[in-house]
Amino acid sequence: MKFQPNYNITREIAGNILRIEKAKKESIHFPLTPTVLSSLRESAQLYTTHYSTMIEGNQLAPKEVEAVLKKEEHFPGRAREEHEIKGYYAALKKVEEWAAEKKEITEQTIQTLHALVMGNGRIRVKPTPYRDGQNVIRDSRTRAIVYMPPEAKDVSALMISMVDWIDDVKKIPTPIVAGLVHYQFATIHPYYDGNGRTARLLTTLVLHLGGYDLKGLYSLEEYYARHLHGYYEAIGVGASHNYYEGRAKRSVTPWLNYFIAGMADSFEKVIVKMKDAQEKGNSDQSAFLRKLDARQRKALKLFQKFEAVTSQQIGALFDFKPRTSTHVCAVWVQEGFLEAVGSSNKNRKYKLTPEYECLIF
């Protein structure tokens, strides 16, 4: 059961890969403060969680999703939807953690990812075994069978083959690999529930490990949700609803066309958001700069090189004596320009308060 995907790189796919690469390159050196990046990343995580669960029928709105994740509100009668939100968010955070660790994708990785998806926000979970029986996908309205995945006895071999392929493939561009993995996981459908959410998270992990993380700011799930008909049409099964009657050999090119276009769209939206954030920061600078005196404006030059500085560095900049440097730093802390880092006087450093971080680009 060796995984041998059937696809072609169309002109459209090649063009969209170029768009992806351009956005990826532009994002690497885009000048944003840690505070702005953190805010954009948090928004991306929230919307990714909202849209991915929405695809599965979850009706909690973005503000309600945020309230659930911040434990600010509980929605009576909607426990299942809250559990889905918490589980997806926990799994998404784990994906980012694994990507940072350069974790290898194994069967256990995937089984743990599924356990997190189904775990109601728990971060300590046991890997979920694959299904032990047949499941089917039905039309939500007519209840007719839309797809019958491979039998349980074949699931393990198919998953091993997919994982081995991920490990062996070297020359195929990462976006293509991610798209093919998404399709194959959906094809195998190794669980009774949670397959779609796990497939989307696994796709994100493949992309992040391959260097396509864009600082964690994009959401493919938003693209899927906004083009949901195209999502189901592209990932559909073709002439037969039975895995053994054509799905395994079907051309994946239509799905890749959809997937790569979605990546390009999502990546370019990140660049737009980055530019908007930078422009907002620049427009806010004049008001903040007016609050600063001449020395404080000059001190900003230090923070363009260092995240935190000592009173000695401040003193060297202005040719102050040590006692004067210490006094100036203390005054700036009281004025809200600086905040102290470290508890002891000997090792104390200072950094800009969040209010003034936007001045550093």
Mean per-residue pLDDT, 228-254 = 83
10-30 average pLDDT score: 93
Quote the pLDDT of residue 360.
Answer: 64
Distances (CA, A) of 208 to 47, 151, 200: 18, 31, 12
Q: Is the four-CA dihedral 56, 5, 213, 97 of positive or negative sign?
A: positive
Higher pLDDT, 297 or 86: 86
Residue 137 φ then ψ, to 5°: -105, 125
Q: Is the pLDDT of residue 36 over 80?
A: no
Residues 218 and 43: their CA atoms lie apart, in Å, by: 10
Q: Which of 22, 201, 39, 6 is nearest to 109 (CA)?
A: 201
The 10s digit of each residue's pLDDT in 81-107 is 999 999 999 999 999 999 999 999 999
**pLDDT tier for residue 281 given thresholds of 50, 70 and 90:** low
pLDDT at site 288: 63
pLDDT at position 239 is: 65
Choice among 92-96, 167-171, 283-287 with the minimum mean pLDDT: 283-287
Cα–Cα distances in Å, from 327 out to 292, 296, 314, 355?
17, 14, 11, 22
What's the pLDDT tens digit per position in 112-155? 999 999 999 998 999 999 999 999 888 777 888 888 999 999 99
**Residue 250 — pLDDT band, cuts 50, 70, 90?**
confident
The answer on pLDDT for 361 being more than 70 is no
DSSP state for residue 172 in the 8-state scheme:
S
Q: What confidence score (pLDDT) does residue 343 get?
A: 63
Are 48 and 54 contacting, i.e. CB atoms less than 8 angstroms apart?
no
In three-state secondary structure terms, 309 is strand
292-357 folds as Arc Repressor Mutant, subunit A (1.10.10)
The whole-angstrom separation of Cα 52 and Cα 88 is 8
Question: Cβ distance 38 to 217 under 8 Å?
Answer: no
What percent of the chain has a predicted confidence (pLDDT) above 70?
Answer: 93
Distance CA 179, CA 157 (A): 20
50, pLDDT greater than 70 = yes
Average of pLDDT values for 42-63? 92
- The pTM (predicted TM-score) of the whole model is 0.78
pLDDT of residue 196: 93
The confidence band for 159, taking pLDDT boundaries of 50, 70 and 90, is very high
Q: How many CB atoms lie within 10 A of CB 29?
A: 6
CA 175 to CA 34: how far, in whole Å?
27
Determine the Cα–Cα distance for residues 324 and 96; give it in Å rounded to an integer.
Answer: 45
pLDDT higher than 90, residue 12: yes
* pLDDT per residue as tens digits for the range 182-234: 999 999 999 999 999 999 999 999 999 999 998 889 999 999 999 998 998 88
The three-state secondary structure class of 281 is helix
Q: Which residue has the higher pLDDT, 341 or 34?
A: 341
Which pLDDT belongs to residue 33?
A: 67
List, for residues 325-347, the tens digit of each pLDDT value: 999 999 999 999 999 987 666 77
The enclosing H or E element of 188 equals helix 174-188
R_g of the chain computed on alpha carbons:
25
CA-wise closest residue to 88 among 76, 80, 100, 78: 80
| Residues in CB range of 95: below 8 A, 6 or more apart | 113, 201, 204, 205, 208
Name the range with the highest mean pLDDT among 49-63, 101-115, 141-155, 276-290. Answer: 101-115
Q: DSSP 3-state assignment of 308?
A: coil
- Spell out where the chain has E strands: 137-138, 145-147, 338-341, 349-352
CATH 2.60.120.920, domain 11-277, yes or no = no
For residue 344, the model assigns a pLDDT of 66
Mean pLDDT, to the nearest integer, of 306-311?
86
- Where b means 16+ CB within 10 Å and e means fewer, 272-285 reads ebbeebbeebeeee
Domain ranges of the chain: 11-277, 292-357
How far apart are alpha carbons 171 and 55 in whole angstroms? 32
Question: What are 147's strand-pairing partners?
Answer: 137
Task: Give yes or no for residue 283 having a pLDDT over 60.
Answer: no
Helix (H, G, I), strand (E, B) or coil at 242: strand
Dihedral class, residue 211 (left if φ above 0, else alpha if ψ from -120 to 50, else beta): left
